Structure 1
């Protein structure tokens, strides 16, 4: 039951450099910060994406969590290296204890909800397994109302061009690539940690735990790419509607300037033309861009396998008798 402490120290240094040098400031460009639109559809999309960035389970907080996780993993392994050279099967518990102490001091807590209430349907892995995810934020994407004044509608669409959305989509893509690349590098280190000792040494289980954490990091990156695709879809739809509504507004303006008694200006004609753009193309296409149901993977800790913690089943319906509802049985919480 041997561990190559020199190799393990080197791996700790590699992991520490990865975490410290990770360029994750790109998340600052992933939100529509400070942008306001008079179009309900656009404003609701801004709100959706901003929630995915800055919400309680948003990209910024989860990226920060993963960086903190990397620091705790490094320090816990380094402490273990200093403590022992010859290991036995009990040292994995010692490692978990060191990690738990560090996490507690740094207020680095598990992201796993204490019950099923905050969990979604899960994110499917390529091998068919499901990883836990937070429930979607549920902010609705509002369809653009019909019957709006054509000039006002055109001015509102003209406020932003597609580059505003393209820049945000690119930022999500960059964030996703950064996270996936970081996960790949962490997984390589996990494999080396596992190989730095015999199979009955703590390094074997530690490597498995780091790989488990890397997997959840990779899934966050992949979901970032999913968000990017939705933003790109919205951008194309917006750009098309913007051009079409502008054309209708130009026609309306020409008709207004050239109106005569024989050919009076009829605003209802152009309002209906704008309605057609919204009703037949823009509003239906919003469904393809909607991010409401996108679920973000729950981060998994490396040295405290909360991904395997059994969660209580959803509460059963309260039995009803002719005299009314019975008192439901108490549901005991499962320890983490």
Structure 2
């Protein structure tokens, strides 16, 4: 079994902060965390606050800064060589998650109308660069992508890179559901959920009409998920308090060589979210009775096939449904899709579109 000890967290935004602060408050085994980012003031503060919280709670976690701009050429490779991490949680992105709560620009309205998958390329760029650097390094590094993993992890996988999973999304709902029912053993609940399932739980119960997630409790499927969890209501803003926190038990279990069960989005590049278990340093599906992997993948993939972004065999990416229609209105060339090998050029096209729409 790989002896993981050090964790590298990239990014200095709210998602990275949640990871850092909750590691500091909950670590039971010694762990060293390097926080990497380009905003010096924010970077120093996360490290200072992380070490302060570890001292406050009496936890064996330590934090150190590493300044890096992942948009710079070869920056990810230098970061890996300088720090030699066993685990990387990549939480840096050129597209803030706050766009889901914003309606003040044409870009934000495109995201609202076409769906979050229009941000996938922008969310993918830095994670793809880090994944490429890991592959080139030849090191056995457990890589987690925190940026839109239900979709982006499929891009990383199609490019031939290893990806463990992401954090949040399905885990927001699974932990909210377990918490609402006061389950002392959260493994009593298993579910399948795509990121698109979150939107309904930001609405009042009477307005929840879209396809719900599938949920099993003690091996029995819940027949009416919306009724059963009608008291669960998510914030309309990104649920960082849950999503960023959800990856921390997995990171710490992996770092300490312990077993763990829970839910993650995008495990090994699969679309959507699944129940999983960590055993002997490897993450595997832990599906409910009667559910096989092929059926679970089909159920999750169907959401993007109806409206979103689908990564096909061979790395071709297709935009579908309302997202394809919305993109066609603004940029017919982008609406035709692309191959994952062209991610750098496609990113620039999306950035040009985003800047144009944000300015108009």
Q: By the TM > 0.5 criterion, same fold? A: no
Question: Which of the pair has more CA radius of gyration?
Answer: 1
TM-score (norm 2): 0.21
The structure carrying a bigger strand percent of its residues is: 2
TM-score (norm 1): 0.22
Where relative contact order (Cα < 8 A, 6+ residues apart) is larger, the structure is 1
